Chain A
Amino acid sequence: MTKYIVNRLLGMIPTLLIIITLSFFIVRIAPGGPFATERKLPEVVERNINAKYHLDEPLIQQYGRYMFDILRGDLGPSFKYKDYDVNYYIANSLPKSVVLGSYAMLLALVFGISAGIIAAVRQNTWLDYLSMGVAVIGISVPLFVIAPVLQLIFAMKLKWLPTSGWYTTGEGWTTVILPAVSLSFAYFANIARLTRSSMLETLRSDYIRTAKAKGMKNTTIIFKHAMKGAMLPVVSYLGPAFAGIITGSIVVEQIFRVPGLGKFFVQSSFNRDYTLIVGVVIVYSAILIVMNFLVDIVYAQLDPRITYK
């Protein structure tokens, strides 16, 4: 097992290098550039800017320079935001997205798994229809509808919660609630549906019939005998889902004024901000790779039939 873990960790390095290389070249192949504007810049100015950001060098030399910087842990200067470099923007916004995403995921897990189990155990009753109805709403109604509606009800009408803001802007922890709930909705829905279907399948399996024939109570059967097997599909969903949720969402960040990482994914692309694009891609893929690795470890913990050598 230790050997497997070390191997997997070492295996992440080439994967990341390939991702960095690909994204480095792909963003530069895309038409336009960070300094392309509607009005043509004077040639001297353009030459100066290109020289400053080394855009006048051959591509392969830029790549070498960039990779060298990355190995030193430097993601380079942003091409658009002049005050700070990419490291600073990511270091400042990622933790906020991680906090928000973790709360959202916690909500999605607790309610999603409970709703899924209840729906499976009470299949074809109103409880099942209710849980799955809410789940369908969660999947089909987009975030930019759910978030403002929640804001309207709980912040504007009932005035229970602040409309927007973040700890750091002085509004306190209550600011997290609305964005976390909105963000969790789609994940809740997916987890609930996955849990329900895999729980239903597990409950129909032979070993559950054996447990019943042993005289066990239904609740014991569900939690002791069925839970582990039913959680496997949910666990494999959680890896990519968690990577997605903790790297932020531009919709939630815009609506609730959360200074998170999500907006950089979109804005950096619009701005052709080469270094920032590759920077957020590195962050996202590193998290995704680590999450998938964790999923595999958890899998082996849950299912004794899986062993890694």
Chain B
Amino acid sequence: MSMKPNAKTVLDVKDLQTYFKTDAGIVKAVDGVSFSVREGETIGIVGESGSGKSVTNLSLMRLIPSPPGKIVGGEVIFEGKDILKLSEKQMRSIRGKKISMIFQDPMTSLNPFLKISTQMVETIRLHEKDVSKQEALERSIDMLKLVGIPSAEKRIQNYPHQFSGGMRQRVMIAQALSCNAEVLIADEPTTALDVTIQAQILELIAKLSNQMGTAVILITHDLGVVAGMCDQVCVMYAGRIVEKATTDELYARPSHPYTEGLIKSVPRMDTTKKGNRLFSIEGQPPNVIDLPPCCPFHPRCHKAMEVCRQAYPLVKDLGKGHEVACWLFAEESEKQRALNEANIKEKAE
């Protein structure tokens, strides 16, 4: 874990919006998300189920099932181009080659009908046409060795069901990095694994990203994982980033009441007294269908004010790149203006 303030930005997400059309209404799964990833950096995206973490990252790969999903706005700048505007063919040459992805459930993410060798070789030869089958196989074996699969030469001829969950996730990582990807998106890579295996897989991702200079976007709902691995953290709630900061800063000064609640609800061995109940944020995450223009967290927030119910908070920079979307940090005049605008709108309707 190291800050690389001068490193080049590899991926710049600006105001990304991904909506899903459903019978019940429009689901704004991702609504105005911005963040950037620098070379070799690990950025964590934290949030509870349904907060839009996975949809954000599937949008970066343009893998949103459409219909019903659609990226309706924003830019994703990669290598100087907005990849949301690329043709499907150009996009395919980025997927798996420059931006790779590993998924939550390694048990189902590899094709059970094909040998590991087939799946890995096809990835390499898909993106590097001049590589022979034999070379691709050798490189795949090297990758398997790198991720710590014992007797890789033999194991590569096995089928996925002959591997354990942790081993399969290693294979997924090996496959994802076999073309030297610049960005690795890891969508809850350890959620489906045993606790002991979780640590090994995370260490492996950290080690390889360091070695190969791959930037990592780590999606998780586990704040412990974030603290151990990430340089930067984005906290998502109801399709938006509510707080964004370096990891140290976020833990030292959690500013959004939601982040505060999240950190408080992590069980700790030192401060939690015996018999004390673990802190939890009251209530449920909001239904993101037809969300009104207000702070989506206000029904669960113990610091909620009138303005929180009337308007979505402005994003405030607290310095050192620490950004928070909460009315607590806004000027009195800004709140007043937001309230007035909301009133005018209400009357107009």
What is the interface of chain A, defined by CB distance below 8 A to chain B?
A: 205-207, 209-217, 224-225, 228-229, 302-305
Contact = CB atoms under 8 A, between A and B. Distances in A.
A305 B63 CA distance: 29
A217 B113 contact: no
A272 B123 CA distance: 65
B95 A207 contact: no
Given A210-B103, A213-B63, A214-B95, A304 B159 contact: yes
Interface in B66-96: 92-96
B330 interface: no
Contacts of B108: 205-207
B92 A209 contact: no
A302 B96 contact: no
Nearest to A221: B111
Contact of B112 (A211, A216, A305): A305
Interface in B101-145: 101, 103, 105, 108-115, 122-123, 126-127
B322 interface: no
A225 B112 CA distance: 9
A211 B95 contact: no
B175 interface: yes
Given A209-B63, A210-B103, A304-B161, A215 B95 contact: yes
A169 B61 CA distance: 64
Most buried by B among A211, A215, A224: A215
A214 B103 contact: no
Contacts of A225: 111, 113-114
A108 B266 CA distance: 59
How large, as a class, is the contact surface on chain B? 20 to 34
B240 interface: no
Nearest to A232: B113
Contact of B113 (A210, A213, A216, A228): A228
B340 to A, nearest CB: 46
Q: Chain A CB within 10 Å — which of B100, B103, B109, B161 has the most?
A: B109
B54 to A, nearest CB: 11
Given A206-B103, A206-B105, A214 B110 contact: no
B63 A215 contact: no
Contacts of B109: 206-207, 209-210
B161 A215 contact: no
Contacts of B122: 214, 216, 224
Query: Looking at B93, B109, B111, which has the most chain A CB atoms within 10 Å of its CB?
Result: B111
A206 B122 CA distance: 18
B97 interface: yes
Nearest to B97: A215
24 contacts: A206-B103, A207-B108, A207-B109, A209-B109, A210-B111, A211-B111, A212-B63, A213-B61, A213-B95, A214-B122, A214-B123, A214-B175, A215-B93, A215-B95, A216-B92, A216-B96, A216-B122, A225-B111, A225-B114, A229-B112, A302-B113, A303-B112, A305-B159, A305-B161
